[in-house]
Amino acid sequence: MNPDMLVVARESRGLTQGQLAAASGVPQGTISKAENGLITMAEEKAQALADQLGYTRDVLDWDAQVYGFGSSSFYHRKQQALPQSRLKQIQATFNLARLRTNLLTKGLDIESSYSFEPFDPDDYESPEHIARLVRAMWHVPMGPIRDIARLIENAGGVVIRSDFDTHRISAISQWVPGERPIFVCNSAMSADRERFSLAHEAAHILMHDRPRETQEAEADAFAAEFLMPAAEIRPQLANGIDLGRAAQLKTYWRVSMSAIIHRARDLDCITASRAKSLYIQMSQHGWLKKEPVEIDRDQTRFLTGVVNAQLHQNGYTVQELSKLTGILPDEFTRLYLPEQQTRLSLVTKE
Ligand SMILES: [Zn+2]
């Protein structure tokens, strides 16, 4: 057994050692010693733990490296304010999602049109400058980015949605050398917020190989310029804005009304007091929590494509793929074939 995998499997389900012990009947002391690599657990006990956690037995044996969050969350205040148990669960979920992505893509020849490359922020004029370079490097046409999830996946990244069970974290990203950059988004986020978070995380992947004190402001500056290039949006903001105009620009640029107001202020198209007054109006309408106009969600295609290739070209069954990725078929379908799940549940309802 790999002690790290036992920890990850347990934490991914949000269980303490005591809770897992109570639920599985395996003594807490045994779990604790196994997690510290002090004992080899009897096979039936290991099986009982795997069953309780809803993973296949061999997940606990995976010879895998478990990683921490790295620089993307080093200076993230809201994340630091979260309870340790929740952070551990999110970290464990992230690691498993990463490992399953590696297992699913192994042996597949997948070409990406573009790539992620490191940019040292000290070598460039500003994060905005890097945003413009990346737009050029990835051949992004002028105007709004129609689908940033797709753009990231075309550059070799993987975008995954997961329920973080908290609103404090929007997304987390990680780029383990030799692997694909992974972006996990909180599925509770609205589509506009998810897009900004993806741009913000892409900035961390591109610029923050090493944590920097200024990284959160830099990632926001990158995201704003990447999604709303100053040269293009400035003329639209030049005469000032009201909430109606912000809503209009939201559907065009596919970012939140708040982000539009923020951008107008940053580009000096409105005064600080005007921005404040707009935010107060937003708040009075309850729009800081839920905006009145919604945009449709970006499409995450990479993993669906991989799973479909394994099913339809390589002849795997859902059972085989769930076994390969260490989860039960129900969870596999929910995570990787959500459309099929909807179809199945529709059939059952008839
Ligand atoms: Zn950040």
d(CA 229, CA 223): 10
Residue that has been written with the tokens 């905005």 in this structure: 128
pLDDT for the residue 254: 98
158-162 and 171-174 as β-strands: parallel, antiparallel, unpaired?
unpaired
CA–centroid distance, 240 to ligand 1, in Å, is 29
Centroid of ligand 1 to alpha carbon of 346 (angstroms): 39
How many angstroms is it from 293 CA to the middle of ligand 1? 26
Per-residue pLDDT tens for 15-67?
Answer: 999 999 999 999 999 999 999 999 999 999 999 999 999 999 999 999 999 98
Residue range 264-279: mean pLDDT, rounded: 97
From the CA of 127, how far away is ligand 1's center (Å)? 13
Mind listing the pLDDT tens digit for each residue in 157-194? 999 999 888 888 899 999 998 899 999 999 999 999 99
* Confidence class for position 150, pLDDT limits 50, 70, 90: very high
Structure tokens of 76? Answer: 């993230």
Residue 270 has pLDDT above 80, yes or no: yes
Q: How far is the CA of 237 from the centre of ligand 1 (A)?
A: 27
Residues 6+ apart with CB under 8 A from 71: 204, 208, 209, 210, 211, 212, 215
Which of the listed CATH numbers 1.10.3720.10, 1.10.260.40, 1.20.1250.20, 1.20.1050.10 matches domain 1-66?
1.10.260.40
- Ligand 1 midpoint to CA 204 (Å): 7
Report the separation in Å between the CA atom of 56 and the middle of ligand 1, taken as the mean of its atom positions: 34
* Model pLDDT for residues 205-256, shown as the tens digit of each residue: 999 988 899 999 999 999 999 999 999 999 999 999 999 999 999 999 999 9
Cα-to-centroid distance, 215 and ligand 1 (Å) = 7
Residue at token pair 């970006």: 298
Per-residue pLDDT at 71 exceeds 70:
no
